[in-house]
Amino acid sequence: MSTPRDIEIHKGVGGYGFNLAKLGNLQFFRAVEEDGPADLAGARVGDRLLKVNGQDVTKATHSQLVQLIKQAGETLRLCVVPITQEEINAQQPQQPQQQQQQQQQQ
């Protein structure tokens, strides 16, 4: 796992400059507006959100996460880490052939 990093995003006239997506329990930046507030703060597409303003959001629902972001006001403090391929794979349903192979290996 990569090292988590803290970023501070100052809200611009159009917002914070990012869109979120959710895959299983992973919530991450789906899009970061080029030269927007999030981009200038160091946010990258694929960064997973760990904390919002010091609060752990790894088990938060998407609506809880959005609410925390809205409550942030002009400055949003995030702790993020890039999503790994292993995390992505763990969130996707297994194909029947994969399940059979795993059962045979046990």
Q: At 94, is the pLDDT very low, low, confident or very high (cuts 50, 70, 90)?
A: low
CA dihedral for 70, 91, 79, 82, sign (positive or negative): negative
Q: What ranges in 51-95 are assigned the alpha helix state H?
A: 62-71, 85-91
Average pLDDT score, the chain: 87
SS3 of residue 41 by DSSP: helix
**Structure confidence at residue 104 (pLDDT):** 46
Better pLDDT: 18 or 1: 18
**Structure confidence at residue 30 (pLDDT):** 95
- Give the separation between CA 2 and CA 21, rounded to whole angstroms: 20
> Is the model's pLDDT at 99 over the cut of 70?
no
Q: Which helix (H) or strand (E) holds 39?
A: helix 37-41
Average pLDDT of span 11-30: 93
Q: At 88, is the pLDDT very low, low, confident or very high (cuts 50, 70, 90)?
A: confident
**Structure confidence at residue 1 (pLDDT):** 61
Which residue has 């904390």 as its token pair?
A: 51
**Structure confidence at residue 96 (pLDDT):** 53
Which residue has 């880490």 as its token pair?
A: 81
Q: What percent of the chain has pLDDT over 90?
A: 72
Q: Which helix (H) or strand (E) holds 105?
A: helix 96-105
One-character DSSP codes across 84-101? PHHHHHHHSPPPHHHHHH
